[in-house]
A = this chain, B = another copy of it.
């Protein structure tokens, strides 16, 4: 399942010993071809981890044959020595798989500011390379978990080809998680240009629209590998749709497992002058600590929604504050910028999922951004973090 659902891929997940918990912490995904097409999307943070610097360059030629991922350490803010560690990981993995080091992508997740224990990590790579199987996707998905409580995988079956994926991440989403790592595979026949365009299209409306706590990671990475093993080239739009579907599924799973959350909140903004405007307004609401704390308390506090909407500059999202409508779980609690239906009609305690709809009455565009509530457990987990 997962990344090994499409033909042409093997994977493994092992316990290298990077985590003090003794849980699996090293994953390997190998593309056996015949194609070795790859694309990547990375955090837009200017402070990036060594594996992001490496992988961004390595995937630049549209070719990759393997991805090695570790939890138990982010290898971020580790200076030139940290980059040398990533480089050595790629070299070692390449040698073990008999592929060029430049075709090995590296992802790391865990604490920032600490060097990885390289002997432990490389022994794990050795072990994983020996255990690669065509049904190792589930093990790989487990080995990349940090504070995740469940592993996340997805797949979509196309017409003679398929797309599979795995993801980890539970905290920082902005587009980044603490850390979001995603590997998506397909056995469809596509070239590097199509892979890159399809991946950017898919992430732009899925992973980029999840904003758990407004924090952007130094390590976020979404990779796409295409083996071509199906021999089938999907019709225009088909691969793109499947990739978006897998991305949306994985993104939704990330929200559902966000650190300490008790509610998943979908903020939909409609009636915007553009999709960009709709996203900007939705993101402002998803970043309101006050609104998110209110949802934790099952309080449909629409005033805090309006206060957040009002922070978006007029040149970004034109609207008239006196025409704003807000519905929460289908109850229009705010009408024309003022009091609407009785807020006590909203029952937030009944479901984990909360639907917030903001109608701007300014245009035709809409967008949805997902977030979570702000809870005691979020504060607890992030004030006492250890991977």
Contacts and interface: CB of A to CB of B under 8 A. Distances in A.
Interface of A: 45-48, 74, 76-79, 81-82, 111-115, 171-172, 174, 178, 213-218, 287-290, 293-294, 296-297, 299, 301-304, 306-312, 314, 321-322, 324, 334, 336-339, 343, 374-376, 378-380, 382-385
A267 to B, nearest CB: 15
Nearest to A217: B307
Contacts of A290: 171-172, 178, 213, 215, 382
Contact of A289 (B215, B309, B337, B384): B215
Of A311, A314, A337, A374, the most chain B CB neighbours within 10 A belong to A311
Contacts of A322: 79
Contacts of A303: 74, 76-77, 111-113, 218
A360 B282 CA distance: 32
A169 B385 CA distance: 31
A384 B299 CA distance: 8
Nearest to A324: B47
8 contacts: A76-B307, A77-B339, A112-B307, A113-B302, A113-B334, A215-B308, A293-B379, A297-B385
Of A216, A301, A307, A378, the most chain B CB neighbours within 10 A belong to A307
B382 A47 contact: no
Per CB-CB distance, the 8 closest pairs between chain A and chain B, nearest first, are A112-B303, A297-B383, A47-B310, A79-B338, A293-B382, A45-B310, A46-B310, A113-B303
Of A77, A294, A382, the most chain B CB neighbours within 10 A belong to A77
A18 B384 CA distance: 41
Contacts of A112: 301, 303-304, 306-307
Contacts of A46: 309-312, 314, 321
A287 B47 contact: no
Nearest to A174: B311
Q: Tell me if A's interface is mostly helix, strand, loop or mixed.
A: loop
A214 B287 contact: yes
Given A112-B303, A303-B113, A380-B376, A78 B338 contact: yes
Contact of A294 (B47, B287, B288, B383): B383
A145 to B, nearest CB: 19
Nearest to A380: B376
Nearest to A80: B338
A147 to B, nearest CB: 12
Contact of A310 (B79, B218, B301, B304): B218
B289 A213 contact: yes
B307 A215 contact: yes
Nearest to A338: B79
B379 A375 contact: yes
Given A77-B303, A217-B307, A376-B376, 5 more contacts: A112-B306, A172-B307, A213-B290, A218-B303, A299-B385
A115 B303 CA distance: 13
A141 to B, nearest CB: 24
